[in-house]
Amino acid sequence: MHNPIKNRLYQLISDNTFLRYLDNNGDSYSLSDLADPVSLPSSRGLAFLYLDNSIASVSLLLHFLQQDWTFALLPPNLAQPFKERLELRYQPNLIYDKERSSLKRYHNESWHYKTGLFYADAAPEHNLHPQLKLLLSTSGTTGSPKFVKLSEQNIVQNALSIVDYLPIRPTDVTPLNLPLFYSYGLSVFTSNSICGGKLVCTNSDIMQKEFWREMERFGYTSLAGVPYVYELLARLGFLQKDYPQLRYLTQAGGKLSKELLSRFAQYAQDKQLDFFVMYGQTEATARMSFLASDDLVEKLGSIGKPIKNGQFHLDPESSELLYTGPNIFGGYAEGPDDLQHFDPPASLATGDLARQDQDGFYYITGRIKRIVKLFGTRINLDEVEQLLISQFPGKELACVGTSDKYINICYADQYIQEDAIKELLFKRVHILPQVVRFQKLPSLLRTNNGKVDYHAITTLIADSSTLVH
């Protein structure tokens, strides 16, 4: 028998009698068809799940939502050396990865979907905190061992807060077009599994004709996207077409330009669609605030107001945006010892600078953290910088971000291998070459104590019109 407190999300999903999961062939599966795929080797352990959005991955995710195990959701396209480094550090009891046919110190187990499931030959017994349910990566594709620690309560409260404001219906047909290992994509899955109708489990993306064939075939009623997705939609002519079944759009994962936001707001108004702009972080299990369609034009550029049971505060000295609510994480894990603890902070320091207008709406005005979001994926600039320094020894360089659109590599050397750097970043951390920019400086600006002055460099780049491409 499952513990109803520990497995409350699964109970909420199982209460939804309208729920069906569809594969991209249109075959329909009930919850009972999918949720019991494997026999776990012990009562509780640690699993690493490299999930795509296929029906097999959804089946495994539903299974682990029933169990008391702690599991990490990870990108299947993570470079193999990064996978091996993570696995060596945490030594999970179970690994799912259909990209590999064998693993050292693990044996392959057959299951309904045949391949990709590995059980440890002799994994240590992990001392896992009772509240620890889910681990999500903080660093996109850089393979950092740092995870956000989330509880069942975090996941449930986040899903219920989203259900409170999104118009999800039992008649909806929702594509899982964002990765399940990404907090935004996971929140689409959880909220629609609780209240929606059909969820289409697809690995198609909007750049592929197959996605649009599926959209027409299944009649998608909503689309979720990060800023890059909306930029692509605009280029693909989305705004010139009608989609009769579409009821609402959601956008999160970074700031959409005001020009593009205005165009989509007008499109939504013309087509009588709802368009929700949302703000969140993995540390808040995805969602902290939303801006509803009714306020979109008047409050263009705002992140809206906090979700149900959430509150914002501004640090009186720095204007940093602080958040409190039941969806705040239990701290970070950088190794197995950290899995023994679950300590939610009194408030979440977002790293974003903000202001509040006279009507209570919040606006992000800047960022103090060394993180950029590219295509909705968080990239830790410090980790990228260290990778470059290790691969190009002797080069003096620094990485800064520009408006969640580019990574600027600033250097003081006479010569730097731009093509080699772009190739390395694409191969190792999946950063597209077109978002990498180069800036030559007379010298790297530094603070009085000798540290690289990233703020000064960012300001200099913003004022410069001579970016080297």
Beta pairing class for 198-201 and 173-175? parallel
- The phi, psi pair for 116, rounded to 5°, reads 95, -5
Q: Is 110 exposed, middle or buried (0-12, 13-18, 19+ CB in 10 A)?
A: exposed
Average pLDDT over residues 217-240: 93
Name which of 214-228, 269-283, 430-444 the model is least confident about: 430-444
Asked if CATH classification 3.10.520.10 holds for the domain at 371-463, the reply, yes or no, is no
CATH architecture of 8-367: 3-Layer(aba) Sandwich (3.40)
Token couple for 197: 């109708």
Task: State which amino acid sits at residue 213.
Answer: R
Distance of CA 393 to the CA centre of its chain: 32
User: Tell me, what's the pLDDT at 383?
Assistant: 80
Count other Cβ atoms within 10 Å, centred on residue 261. Answer: 21
Q: At what angle do helices 183-195 and 152-165 cross, to 10 degrees?
A: 70
User: Tell me, what's the pLDDT at 291?
Assistant: 97
User: Tell me, what's the pLDDT at 447?
Assistant: 61
Looking at residue 257, what DSSP letter applies?
Answer: P
Per-residue pLDDT at 4 exceeds 60 = no
- The phi, psi pair for 345, rounded to 5°, reads -70, 160
Q: Please give the share of the chain, as a percent, with pLDDT higher than 90.
A: 67
Beta pairing class for 377-380 and 371-374? antiparallel
Q: How confident is the model at residue 309 (pLDDT cuts 50, 70, 90)?
A: very high
31-53: buried (b, 16+ CB within 10 Å) or exposed (e) per residue? bebbbebbebeeeebbbbbbbbb
Q: How confident is the model at residue 468 (pLDDT cuts 50, 70, 90)?
A: very low
Per-residue pLDDT at 49 exceeds 90 = yes
Per-residue pLDDT at 330 exceeds 70 = yes
The region that residue 313 occupies, defined by phi over 0 for left and psi between -120 and 50 for alpha, beta otherwise, is beta
Q: How confident is the model at residue 216 (pLDDT cuts 50, 70, 90)?
A: very high
For residues 196 and 174, give the distance between their C-alpha atoms in angstroms, rounded to a whole number: 8
Average pLDDT over residues 46-72: 96
Per-residue pLDDT at 459 exceeds 60 = yes
Average pLDDT over residues 46-56: 96
**Residue of higher predicted confidence among 62 and 429:** 62
Looking at residue 307, what DSSP letter applies?
Answer: P
Task: State which amino acid sits at residue 21.
Answer: Y
User: Tell me, what's the pLDDT at 140?
Assistant: 57
Q: How confident is the model at residue 294 (pLDDT cuts 50, 70, 90)?
A: very high
Q: Are 187 and 162 in contact (CB under 8 A)?
A: yes
User: Tell me, what's the pLDDT at 2?
Assistant: 47
User: Tell me, what's the pLDDT at 369?
Assistant: 67
For residues 63 and 29, give the distance between their C-alpha atoms in angstroms, rounded to a whole number: 14
Distance of CA 125 to the CA centre of its chain: 29
Q: In sequence order, which ranges of 120-257 are alpha helices (DSSP H)?
A: 152-165, 183-195, 209-218, 227-235
Token couple for 43: 């009562």
Q: What is the pLDDT of residues 237-281, one digit of tens each?
A: 999 999 999 999 999 988 888 889 999 999 999 999 999 999 999
Count other Cβ atoms within 10 Å, centred on residue 267. Answer: 18
For residues 263 and 240, give the distance between their C-alpha atoms in angstroms, rounded to a whole number: 11
Q: What is the pLDDT of residues 409-436, one digit of tens each?
A: 999 877 888 999 999 999 888 888 989 9
Q: Are 408 and 401 in contact (CB under 8 A)?
A: yes
Cα distance between the two ends of the chain? 60
User: Tell me, what's the pLDDT at 31?
Assistant: 95
Angle at 10 between CA 7 and CA 11, to 5 degrees: 85
Per-residue pLDDT at 387 exceeds 80 = yes
Beta pairing class for 117-120 and 94-96? antiparallel
For residues 284 and 186, give the distance between their C-alpha atoms in angstroms, rounded to a whole number: 13
Domain ranges of the chain: 8-367, 371-463
Q: Are 441 and 454 in contact (CB under 8 A)?
A: no
User: Tell me, what's the pLDDT at 450?
Assistant: 59
**Residue of higher predicted confidence among 89 and 393:** 89
User: Tell me, what's the pLDDT at 469?
Assistant: 40
Q: Are 30 and 58 in contact (CB under 8 A)?
A: no
Token couple for 388: 């470059």
Residue 49's DSSP bridge partners are: 73, 96
> Mean pLDDT of all residues in the chain?
90
Q: How confident is the model at residue 56 (pLDDT cuts 50, 70, 90)?
A: very high
Per-residue pLDDT at 32 exceeds 60 = yes
User: Tell me, what's the pLDDT at 372?
Assistant: 81
For residues 297 and 41, give the distance between their C-alpha atoms in angstroms, rounded to a whole number: 54
Dihedral sign of CA atoms 181, 182, 188, 194 in order = positive
Q: What is the pLDDT of residues 71-123, one digit of tens each?
A: 999 999 888 999 999 999 999 999 999 999 999 999 998 888 888 999 999 87
Q: How confident is the model at residue 465 (pLDDT cuts 50, 70, 90)?
A: very low
